[in-house]
Every structure is written in structure tokens, then in C-alpha cells.
Amino acid sequence: MSSTKIFLKSSDDKTFEIDETAARASETLKNIIDGGCLDGVIPLPNVSSNILPKVIEYCKKHGGDNGSSKKIANGGVDKDKEILPDYDEEEDKREKVRVDELKKWEEEYMDFDQQVLYDLMLAANYLHIKGLLDLTVEKAASMIRGRTPDQIRENFNINSDFTPEEEEEMILIEDEWDDEWAFD
């Protein structure tokens, strides 16, 4: 499918080009395009020029999702199997390769620090790109799991604004207990 080009302008006045099919990965852009009020360049006052290329990269990868290759958008391989029990084996293999490739791509794509994560998360939120929002939220959650409040603050560069008394109140003491039973 040939595609028209769309131009996006970042908050710091830099213009980026994106295929229409890719742009449709964003609910916000899709509405603008379908609304017909497309006037050459779409200004995005909430997205800066160091984040916008990252967003476009994601959209390019996922642009066609809502059309032919819906399976990738759905995510899991197993899910597909359940939905389509009489799945062609060859097709199944190819699908698997595609999903694996996508996972690898996501891994590389998501390799950045918390500041980019924050901006990307808000951009995904503003542009209504659900997949990207999920991805960034999951990354934030993974930076919280298994860590103490101090470690979490360090991860996200947050200063505690609790009083010492409040801190005291919220302490979650964790003790490790071995599997050593005193009697059998």
C-alpha cells in the first residue's frame, strides 16, 4: 500500500516525516488525519525533538498493525494458536519468527534511561499509542519490582518528601526465613 507522507513538528520547531500508515498507530494522529483537517504539518507542542524520532521509530514498526498483521498487536504466540486452531504450520513458524524478532526489537528499542522513559511515556500518552504506553509502563514497573523505596527513588531520581515520622510509619520490614523447620 503506497502511503502519503505526513509531517510532524516537535515542540522545539523541528519537522519530522512519517508515513501515514505508520502515523495511524497513534490514535491522536489517526483522528487528525481522518478528521481531514490535515494542513501540511501537524504541530506536537508536547513532544520534543529528542523524543519524537523515538516515537516515529515505534510507529514505523507498528504502523500497519490495525490492518493486516493484527496478530503482532495482540502479542502472544500462544494466543494466536488458541484463536486459530487450524493454523497453517508454515505460517505458524513464520509468525513465531516475527514475534521473536519483534521482541528482540523491543528489547533494543527500550534500552534507555529513566529520563527518556518519562518523556516517551508522556508522548505515548499524549499521542494515544497504546502499545508504546504499555511498553513504557511495564518498564517503569520493572524498575520498581524487587527494590526498596530508597533504590526506587534512586532509579527515578525522586526525593522523599515524607517527614521522618511518616517514614518510620511506612517501614516495611522484611525478614528472610530459611526453610529450616524446627520439628518435623
Partner 1 sequence: MGSSSSPNGEMKMADHSRWSELPNHINEMIVNRLGFPDIIRFRAVCRSWRSVYTEARRPRYHPMVLYEYNLQKGTFGFYSFEDKKVYWINVRDNYQGKHCVGSCESWLVLSSPYLRNYFLLNPFTGARVDCPYVNRPDVDVFTKVILLHSPIDPTTKQTNYYCTVVALNSFSTELNICRLGDLRWNVLKLDHEHFLGCLVCFKDKIYSLSTNGELWIISLSGPMLRATVQKVLVQINLTVGLDFQKECYLVESEENFRFVIYKLVQNLGEYKWIREYNLPDDRALFLGRLCSRIVSTTEYGGLQGNSIYFTDDKLIHKARVSEYPETGIYNIRSGSIAPCLPFNLYPFDLPHIWITPSVRNRDAIDLAEFWTHWSGTMMVEQISIN
Instruction: Look up residue 100 and give its amino acid.
Output: D
Please state the closest distance from residue 142 (CB atom) to partner 1, in A. 8
| CB closer to partner 1, 34 vs 138 | 138
Binding site for partner 1 (CB under 8 A): 11-12, 46-51, 113-116, 118-119, 121-122, 125, 133-134, 137-138, 140-141, 144-149, 152-153, 156-162, 167-184
CA trace torsion 133, 36, 46, 161 (10° rounding): -50
Instruction: Look up residue 148 and give its amino acid.
Output: T
| CB closer to partner 1, 33 vs 143 | 143
CA gyration radius, the chain? 22
Please state the closest distance from residue 79 (CB atom) to partner 1, in A. 17
Q: Cell for 100?
A: 521473536
| CB closer to partner 1, 1 vs 141 | 141
Residue 176 falls in which region: left (phi positive, over 0), alpha (psi -120 to 50) or beta: beta
What letter does residue 6 receive in the DSSP assignment?
Answer: E
Report the 10 Å Cβ neighbour count for 156.
14
| CB closer to partner 1, 97 vs 144 | 144
Please state the closest distance from residue 163 (CB atom) to partner 1, in A. 10
Please state the closest distance from residue 162 (CB atom) to partner 1, in A. 7
